[in-house]
């Protein structure tokens, strides 16, 4: 069958550091891929890791026009890759969670009459009232406190699935409502990064989906409606209108905007499906069974579990699930993921993963007792400021250790924290347990081996055609490095 007679589907991932696009066939085979790395491809926005540190303590923002410009750029890369857009039946995608986009009063009219002859970013240059606070922002501690005081911490968790968290959109909105009232008043609509991206494709402000909408401290995850008391604690009576009505994640929002029809040759009836949060879409793609844990290794590391119903966690988050098969999901987000690993790779081994992995191979499981905690950015789970701690086998604080011990201390420390917090959330490991890894760093076998050793569970990696065992557990025969006695089957 030629591509022309096939139905194809286009997906986007508006993540922290890059925008990725992928075209798949009806059989889920990957036909084309393209990406835009914000720091490298759009240096004019002066981002580092896709974000800009703001002037307030803990403030982390991104200019929405960066994402707008990246969309045309990634589309042009798909053109160069030979994509025939007329075969695309539907478009959808994911975005980094919690970040908010503040649309001006004339934005929706602009979205509705975009000319295919000009770039999106020139036409939408005045569509945003301010830069977007993103998930790495930790400047809203006072707002979290105020929200928990207004609702009650436990009640807030019962209603919204989370206690108040700095990066959650409700506290972020509260900060702008109180500190920048003119910005708040000039804003017609507030989108999440996901629904903002969907809006660009749909040519109108797209609704927030229920799954990503659960990361705001505003949604009642049982009734699936905005909670009046939470809205009041974060803004005024206009907030419900600014947010619009949330919809299930698989909702068709409308046909694709005429901009994409005219500029790239989409058929006018191509459907745009609501976008959702990156972790929500990862959970949907992982098809987790009970007892399995999803591990998304990206800028942040996140642990994902499917849940049958809502509950009120003391730490971590419960979200409405993205699919009927996963009605609810648990999420634990560790802010120090790939960027932190990369920083220490650069420090300990130059800029090469190969050299860093050599260091790991020079040490043994358990790291001779050296253990480290490396927070290059404020940590979310547990809540803690940036810092670095290391101990030797006797439990003494160690100011420094040889690079190979530091390398393993960093990764074993990360894996231990992921396991300990998952267990605190009720996750129990048994014979049927497995970890399904996804995200950029899931290509690193040494890292997967460490997760396998620490979780004492096989680790699988998600591919488009299913899960593949990548790394055996300590209690099973390892498929990694079979010549390496350190990785042979060991009963602990
Ligand atoms: C999840 C979270 C991050 C972002 C960026 O709560 O804040 O994982 O979604 O990936």
Q: Which residues in 5-17 are b (16+ Cβ under 10 Å) and which e?
A: eeebbbbbbbbbb
Mean pLDDT of the chain: 92
* 22 and 126 assigned to the same domain: yes
Quote the number of domains for the chain.
2
Mutation test residue for ligand 1: of 95, 133, 135, the one with most atoms within 8 Å of CB:
135
* 269 and 305 assigned to the same domain: no
Tokens representing 28 are 């889920």
- The predicted model scores a pTM of 0.88
* 170 and 189 assigned to the same domain: yes
Q: What percent of the chain has pLDDT over 70?
A: 94
Strand partners of residue 306: 329
For residue 80, the tally of other CB atoms under 10 A from its CB is: 9
Nearest atom (ligand 1) to Cα of 298:
10
Measure 167 CA to ligand 1 centroid, in angstroms.
9
* 150 and 252 assigned to the same domain: yes
Which domain, by its residues, includes 91?
A: 3-279
Strand duo 252-255 + 187-192: pairing: unpaired
Smallest CA separation from ligand 1 atom 9, residue: 97
Smallest CA separation from ligand 1 atom 10, residue: 96
Measure 300 CA to ligand 1 centroid, in angstroms.
6
CA–CA dist 356, 339 (Å, integer): 14
Measure 261 CA to ligand 1 centroid, in angstroms.
32
Q: How confident is the model at residue 483 (pLDDT cuts 50, 70, 90)?
A: very low
* 213 and 299 assigned to the same domain: no
Pocket of ligand 1 (CB under 6 A): 16, 96-98, 135, 167, 215, 277-279, 298-300, 302, 331, 333
Smallest CA separation from ligand 1 atom 6, residue: 333
For residue 364, the tally of other CB atoms under 10 A from its CB is: 11
Measure 411 CA to ligand 1 centroid, in angstroms.
20
Output the pLDDT for position 170.
98
CA–CA dist 412, 285 (Å, integer): 27
* 395 and 248 assigned to the same domain: no
Tell me, rounded to whole angstroms, the distance of Cα 315 from its chain centroid.
Answer: 18
Cα pseudo-dihedral 43, 45, 46, 52, rounded to 10: -140
Measure 276 CA to ligand 1 centroid, in angstroms.
12
Mean pLDDT confidence for 250-272: 98
CATH code for the domain of 183: 3.30.420.40
Smallest CA separation from ligand 1 atom 1, residue: 333
Are 436 and 288 a contacting pair, CB within 8 Å?
A: yes
User: What is the per-residue pLDDT across 314-370, written as a single tens digit (0 to 9) for each?
Assistant: 788 999 999 988 899 999 999 999 999 999 999 999 999 999 999 999 999 999 999
CA–CA dist 53, 313 (Å, integer): 30
Measure 96 CA to ligand 1 centroid, in angstroms.
6
Nearest atom (ligand 1) to Cα of 277:
9
Nearest atom (ligand 1) to Cα of 97:
9
Of the candidates 279, 306, 323, which is a domain's last residue? Answer: 279
Of the candidates 235, 262, 279, which is a domain's last residue? Answer: 279
Nearest atom (ligand 1) to Cα of 98:
7
**Any idea how long the chain is?**
492
* 233 and 319 assigned to the same domain: no
HSE (side-chain half, CA atoms, 13 Å) at 165: 37
Nearest atom (ligand 1) to Cα of 296:
8
Nearest atom (ligand 1) to Cα of 331:
6
Q: How confident is the model at residue 471 (pLDDT cuts 50, 70, 90)?
A: low
Measure 316 CA to ligand 1 centroid, in angstroms.
12
Of the candidates 279, 306, 339, which is a domain's last residue? Answer: 279
Strand partners of residue 328: 307, 320
Measure 145 CA to ligand 1 centroid, in angstroms.
21
Q: How confident is the model at residue 34 (pLDDT cuts 50, 70, 90)?
A: very high
CA–CA dist 250, 142 (Å, integer): 35
Query: Pick from 364, 386, 361: which is nearest to 373 by CA?
Result: 386
* 25 and 81 assigned to the same domain: yes
Q: What percent of the chain has pLDDT over 90?
A: 82
Smallest CA separation from ligand 1 atom 5, residue: 96
Are 291 and 431 a contacting pair, CB within 8 Å?
A: no
Query: Pick from 85, 1, 78, 2: which is nearest to 266 by CA?
Result: 85
């Amino acid at each position: 069958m030629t591509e022309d007679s096939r139905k194809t589907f286009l997906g986007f991932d508006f993540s922290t550091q890059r925008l990725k696009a992928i075209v798949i066939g009806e059989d889920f085979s990957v036909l084309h891929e393209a990406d835009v790395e914000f720091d490298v491809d759009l240096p004019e926005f002066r981002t580092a890791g896709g974000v800009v540190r703001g002037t307030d303590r803990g403030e982390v923002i991104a200019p929405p026009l960066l994402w707008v410009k990246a969309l045309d750029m990634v589309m042009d890369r798909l053109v160069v890759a030979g994509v025939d857009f007329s075969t695309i039946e539907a478009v959808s995608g994911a975005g980094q969670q919690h970040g908010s986009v503040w649309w001006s009063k004339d934005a929706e009219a602009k979205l509705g009459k975009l000319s295919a002859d000009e770039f999106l970013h020139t036409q939408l240059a005045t569509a945003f009232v301010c830069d977007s606070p993103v998930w790495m922002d930790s400047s809203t501690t006072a707002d979290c406190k105020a929200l928990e005081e207004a609702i009650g911490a436990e009640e807030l968790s019962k209603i919204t699935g989370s206690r108040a968290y700095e990066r959650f959109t409700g506290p972020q909105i509260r900060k702008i409502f109180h500190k920048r009232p003119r910005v708040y008043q000039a804003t017609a609509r507030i989108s999440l990064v996901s629904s903002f991206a969907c809006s660009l494709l749909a040519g109108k402000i797209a609704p927030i989906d229920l799954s990503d909408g659960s990361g705001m401290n505003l949604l009642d995850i049982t009734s699936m409606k905005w909670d009046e008391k939470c809205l009041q604690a974060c803004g005024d009576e206009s907030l419900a209108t600014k947010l619009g009505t949330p919809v299930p994640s698989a909702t068709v929002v409308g046909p694709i905007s005429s901009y994409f029809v005219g500029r790239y040759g989409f058929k006018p009836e191509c459907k745009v499906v609501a976008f959702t949060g990156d972790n929500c879409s990862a959970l949907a793609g992982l098809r987790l069974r009970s007892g399995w844990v999803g591990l998304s290794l990206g800028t942040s590391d996140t642990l994902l579990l499917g849940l049958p119903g809502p509950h009120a966690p003391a730490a971590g988050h419960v979200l409405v699930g993205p699919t009927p098969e996963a009605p609810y999901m648990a999420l634990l987000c560790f802010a120090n993921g790939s960027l932190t690993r990369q920083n220490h790779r650069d420090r300990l081994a130059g800029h090469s993963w190969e050299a860093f992995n050599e260091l790991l191979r020079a040490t043994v499981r358990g790291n001779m007792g050296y253990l480290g905690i490396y927070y290059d950015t404020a940590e979310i789970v547990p809540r803690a400021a940036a810092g670095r701690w290391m101990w030797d086998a006797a439990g003494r604080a160690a100011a420094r250790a040889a690079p190979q011990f530091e390398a393993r201390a960093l990764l074993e420390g990360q894996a231990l924290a992921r396991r300990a917090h998952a267990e605190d959330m009720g996750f129990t490991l048994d014979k049927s347990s497995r970890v399904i890894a996804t995200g950029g760093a899931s290509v690193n076998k040494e890292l997967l081996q460490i997760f396998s050793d620490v979780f004492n569970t096989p680790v699988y990696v998600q591919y488009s055609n299913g899960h593949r065992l990548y790394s055996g557990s300590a209690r099973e025969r390892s498929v990694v490095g079979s010549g390496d006695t350190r990785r042979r089957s060991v009963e602990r």
